[in-house]
Structure 1
Amino acid sequence: MTDDRIVNGGAQPEDDDPHFTFRPERLDEMIGQDDVRDQLAVFIQAARERKEALEHALLVGPKGLGKTTLGSVIANELGVGFKRTGGQVLERLELSQILTSLEPGDVLFIDEIHRVNIRVQEILYPAMEDFTIDLVIGQGGPGARAVHVPLP
């Protein structure tokens, strides 16, 4: 007797595929949100043709909509690295470390950016606008000094 059922609980060949994922990795793998996908395709193509990094993008929407996935897709489409952090846990030192470790063109995704502490924003905004950060080296007092660090 053969089992002709469409659904069964047994293992399937694709279960062992290490590349299988539920999250899309490219724009053409995304389902739905056609307008968002089309706009991102234009932004990404423009960045490629200019041979520049994609400018700042703000992805807004309720939880579970796919904002983090979109950030990852953008990085994959551009062939650059993707770093992710959360606004509610981001501290000045951590942000400085992340920013100085980015390669040119990398995508930094800050989830819940509206929850970033005001002191962290003091580092983030100049980094976004001027591509530089100022770091204080030393424990404070007369031995401490400020260093102006350009970002990629």
Structure 2
Amino acid sequence: MQDRRQLAPEAEEADADLDLSLRPRSFDDFVGQRQVVDKLRVYVEAARRRGGALDHTLLSGPPGLGKTSLAHIVAREMGVDIHITSGPAIERKGDLAGILTALAKGDLLFIDEIHRLPRVV
């Protein structure tokens, strides 16, 4: 029997569930990037102690280094929801405004491929 998979630009729910189940859930579970993880751990702890949100943070590097996984970990450690979008999905200022107004206080917004965000935004 042949396994047939559908190719689509959007992830299906089963794919998203599998993706989340494979991600590390804490800083201790994250493998590699020890200096980055240690700094993020301090950053998160400082924000929690002052009872505030994390300041803007830019995670950069080639694909596969764990930027999205680290964003999920930061959200979990802060006890907030994470909202994920990508630079190419935000075409106009209004798109970004809509995303920002949908965030609850303290929520984490992760913009993947932010370098592809149009300059007009």
What is the Cα deviation at residue 48 of structure 1? 0.2
1:33-60 deviation line (CA, Å, top 9, x unaligned) = 1111110110000000010000011001
Seq. identity, %: 48
- Larger relative contact order (CA 8 Å, sep ≥ 6): 2
1:99 aligns with 2:100: yes
What is the Cα deviation at residue 89 of structure 1? 2.0
Could you say which residue in structure 2 is the equivalent of 1:109?
A: 110
Stretches of structure 2 that go unaligned for 5 or more consecutive residues are: 1-17
Residues 49-88 of structure 1 correspond to what in structure 2 (within 5 A)? 49-88=49-88
What is the Cα deviation at residue 100 of structure 1? 0.2
1:35 aligns with 2:28: no
1:84-119 deviation line (CA, Å, top 9, x unaligned) = 111022122221111001111111011111111122
Return the index of the structure with the highest Cα Rg.
1
1:14-37 deviation line (CA, Å, top 9, x unaligned) = xxxx9x822112112111211111
What is the Cα deviation at residue 75 of structure 1? 0.5
Could you say which residue in structure 2 is the equivalent of 1:126?
A: none
1:47 aligns with 2:47: yes
Residues 127-138 of structure 1 correspond to what in structure 2 (within 5 A)? none
RMSD after superposition: 1.6
Read off the aligned partner of 1:86 and give its amino acid letter: S
Read off the aligned partner of 1:102 and give its amino acid letter: L
| Equivalent position SS for 1:110 | strand
Normalization by structure 1: what TM-score?
A: 0.63
* Number of equivalences: 102
Read off the aligned partner of 1:109 and give its amino acid letter: F
